């Protein structure tokens, strides 16, 4: 799948964001190695801490459907009234969730402003010196 197609799905997912508190809307589209896509949006809560980021929504949807192998994620985000989007980097918690399931040097994190403007990072680049499942192996 082309980066622009994955970004388009993330932009669609962003429209579903539930953000009555921050008014900052994020969408994500997670591509599995087998070619399936799971989308996610951020979902906020009046108690604040139960809020969930778009990226984790996508991962938890996918893992709960039996997916464990991921190739890439496209992320778009910005204020709800923004005329155009800037790059939206995933929070530390979402990076750690990526660390659980994704290949350190091959998983692609696509930060997009739109379908034509994007930057691609590996998980290692955005979470250097990470702690993951391999650290717990004997």
88 lies in the binding site for ligand THU (CB under 6 A): yes
Which residue carries 């591509």 as its tokens?
31
Strand partners, 114: none
Contact status: 123 vs ligand THU (CB under 6 A): no
Give the nearer residue to ligand THU in terms of CB position, either 102 or 134: 102
Residue 117 is a catalytic residue: no
CA angle, 91 as apex, 68 and 60 as ends, to 5°?
30
CB nearer to ligand THU: give 91 or 120: 91
CA dihedral 120, 123, 124, 126 (to 10 degrees): 70
Q: Is 121 exposed, middle or buried (0-12, 13-18, 19+ CB in 10 A)?
A: middle
Residue 76 near ligand THU by CB under 6 A: no
Decide: is 24 part of the binding site for ligand THU (CB under 6 A). Answer: yes
Helix, coil or strand: residue 25: strand
Catalytic residue among 55, 80, 117, 125: 55
Name the minimum Å distance from CB 87 to ligand THU.
Answer: 10
Contact residues for ligand THU, defined by CB under 6 A? 19, 22, 24, 26, 42, 44, 51, 53-55, 75, 77, 88, 90-91, 94
What residues are labeled active site? 55
């Amino acid at each position: 799948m082309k980066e622009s197609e994955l970004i388009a799905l993330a932009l669609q997912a962003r429209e579903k964001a539930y953000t009555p508190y921050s008014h900052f809307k994020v969408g994500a589209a997670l591509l599995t190695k087998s070619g399936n896509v799971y989308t996610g949006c951020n979902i906020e809560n009046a108690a604040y801490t139960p809020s969930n980021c778009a990226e984790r929504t996508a991962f938890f949807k996918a893992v709960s459907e039996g997916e464990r192998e991921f190739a890439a994620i496209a992320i778009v985000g910005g204020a709800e009234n923004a005329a155009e989007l800037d790059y939206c980097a995933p929070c530390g918690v979402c990076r750690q969730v990526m660390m659980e399931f994704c290949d350190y040097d091959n998983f692609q994190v696509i930060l997009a402003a739109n379908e034509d403007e994007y930057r691609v990072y590996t998980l290692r680049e955005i979470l250097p010196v990470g702690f993951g499942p391999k650290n717990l192996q004997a």
